[in-house]
């Protein structure tokens, strides 16, 4: 496996692999198979691939019908369309009856880059978090993406998998247990909670903080729902300050979810680092991370300012 790969690429490859292991898996796309990487499944199993065209709501309801007769449909398009344009169908047709539909959406977050704010979904987790019966995964690298897919197949019910366009580096492999965060780095002074593209940046920020004598733990919250309340409470009892970093709006994302847990005990403070209630814009992904304070150096700076 390459050391650097986009989770959308890993998704397409893993989906084709799973298709050979489970003949009940079917795939649906909204005319974006070469961008979402479902093309790999389409090429191997054309009889189980359905291009619904640019009709996301129809595609989702078609997937519900397939799920009702025993198939395991994976539904893919860009996250901004897949969660926003057909929110009603996800709510009423997928989550309300707890249909066994897997929503794997790519091009999430500001790392979509030059496509600009209209295509940069920074509210998708907020939309999916509010829905009963929904499980939410956001893998950090290629290996974790395949594990997330396998976990999704094993779950009977709706799953949202958030995937990125930009590449991420391979991280040390750990078990993937839905609802259980992984400690990527131990630390005695504070904890950083991250997911997806931000895990590697959180790890880099923690290394930068070492120069200031700040020893930060880093946790990979690959599952945003159900939330790992146990780990949050353990960290809240251990540290006076917790930080959340995410390539998503600070409204409705992991930060608010963690703050909600901590508020019930008042055990520590939570600082949310993310997109600060703004839309994205067009630029290179790394330029956008810097502009929105989400590159490793900016994350380290914000943590340093709080802890000084």
Contact 71, 83 (CB under 8 A): no
Catalytic residues: 56
Distance CA 206, CA 229 (A): 23
In the numeric block, the tokens 């005319």 are attached to 31
Distance CA 173, CA 144 (A): 8
The DSSP bridge partners found for residue 270 are 242
Distance CA 281, CA 278 (A): 9
Contact 250, 256 (CB under 8 A): yes
The answer to whether the Cα torsion of 37, 41, 43, 48 is positive or negative is: negative
Entry field: residues in the chain: 308
């Amino acid at each position: 496996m390459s050391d650097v790969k986009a989770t959308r690429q890993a998704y397409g490859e893993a989906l084709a692999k799973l298709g050979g292991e489970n003949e009940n898996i079917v795939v649906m796309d909204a005319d974006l198979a070469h961008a979402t990487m479902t093309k790999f499944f389409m090429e191997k199993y054309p009889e189980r691939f359905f291009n619904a065209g640019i009709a996301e709501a129809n595609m989702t309801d078609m997937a519900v019908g397939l799920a009702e007769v025993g198939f395991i449909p994976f539904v893919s398009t860009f996250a901004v369309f897949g969660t926003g344009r057909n929110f009603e169908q996800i709510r009423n047709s997928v989550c309300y009856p707890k249909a066994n539909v897997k929503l794997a959406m790519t091009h999430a977050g500001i790392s979509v880059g030059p496509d600009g704010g209209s295509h940069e979904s920074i509210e998708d987790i907020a939309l999916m978090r509010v829905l009963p019966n929904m499980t939410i995964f956001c893998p950090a690298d290629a290996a974790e993406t395949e594990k997330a897919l396998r976990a999704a197949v094993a779950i009977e019910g709706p799953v949202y998998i958030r995937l990125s366009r930009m590449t991420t580096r391979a991280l040390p492999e750990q078990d993937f247990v839905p609802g259980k965060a992984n400690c990527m780095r131990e630390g005695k002074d504070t904890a950083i909670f991250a997911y997806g593209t931000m895990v590697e940046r959180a790890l880099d920020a923690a290394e930068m903080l070492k120069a200031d004598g700040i020893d930060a733990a880093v946790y990979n919250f690959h599952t945003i729902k159900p939330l790992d309340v146990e780990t949050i409470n353990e960290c809240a009892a251990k540290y006076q300050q917790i930080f959340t970093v995410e390539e998503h709006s600070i409204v409705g994302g992991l930060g608010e979810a963690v703050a909600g847990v901590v508020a019930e005990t008042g055990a520590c403070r939570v600082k949310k680092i993310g997109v600060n209630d703004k839309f994205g814009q067009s630029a290179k992904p790394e330029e956008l991370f810097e502009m929105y304070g989400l590159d490793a150096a900016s994350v380290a700076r914000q943590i340093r300012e709080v802890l000084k």
